[in-house]
Amino acid sequence: MPVQPSTPPQARPPIRLTAQLLTCLVFLIIAAVIIVVAYAEPLSVFVGPMNVGTQLLFGLGLSALAATGSYVSFRMAATSESTRKTIAAYARLDLSGLNPVWISLAAAIGEELLFRAALQPMLGVWITSVIFLLTHTPVYQFRKLDKATLVQAAGVFGASVVLGFIYQYVGLLAAVLVHVAIDVVGLYVVRNALRQPGPAA
């Protein structure tokens, strides 16, 4: 009986923008339920210590710093194993056109409302950041604990802690803006890396 040639494994389909928007919607629904059920004054979680105008100014300034820091850290660690793994983790996203912007907006709005506005007032910055890290485990594939994975996990956890303190001391709008800036820069860096020939793609 002749041996059938083995077929190469099918490439997994790309994750479309609609999937990202649906994830945002699910996070918003969960956040809304928690906020309405858990808080006597649900709107209080949206009112930060600073007014909206001040949050906007702080948010834009901190976003510029975050975007610069994100870009510089990617460039400095461009050939590291953790950067290669991060690029691979996001390689399935549809990053065509302006999708990095829309994905970043959806992620920032959904995640900040859920983790910062809904969970952080109950659980605090540190526990919320642990949960934030755990929800990113499927994306980053943190199952294998090597140095690169620990660097990635520390980056995700550290970003969540920073966003938590921004929410706590500035407000939700500022946290959303900074989150958008970090993600936009990261996704454009990933897109550029995937378009370059070589091992990074």
Query: For residue 116, is it left (φ>0), alpha (ψ between -120 and 50) or beta?
Result: alpha
Structural domain count, the chain: 1
**pTM as predicted:** 0.86
Helix/strand/coil for 93: strand
For residue range 17-64, what is the model confidence (pLDDT) as tens digits? 898 899 999 999 999 999 999 999 988 888 889 999 999 999 999 999
For residue range 133-163, what is the model confidence (pLDDT) as tens digits? 998 876 666 666 677 778 788 889 999 999 9
Residue 10 lies in a domain: no
Residue 39 lies in a domain: no
Residue 8 lies in a domain: no
Model confidence at 168: pLDDT above 90? yes
For residue range 68-78, what is the model confidence (pLDDT) as tens digits? 988 888 888 77
Residue 62 lies in a domain: yes
Backbone angles phi, psi at 93, to 5 degrees: -70, 145
- Sorted by sequence, the CB contacts under 8 Å of residue 2 that are 6+ apart come out as none
Look-up: residue for tokens 């709008």? Answer: 173
Residue 1 lies in a domain: no
**Which pLDDT belongs to residue 128?**
97
Report the C-alpha gap between 24 and 30 in whole angstroms: 10
**Which pLDDT belongs to residue 104?**
95
Domain that holds residue 74: 17-34+45-195
Dig out the tokens for 70 from the structure.
């994100």
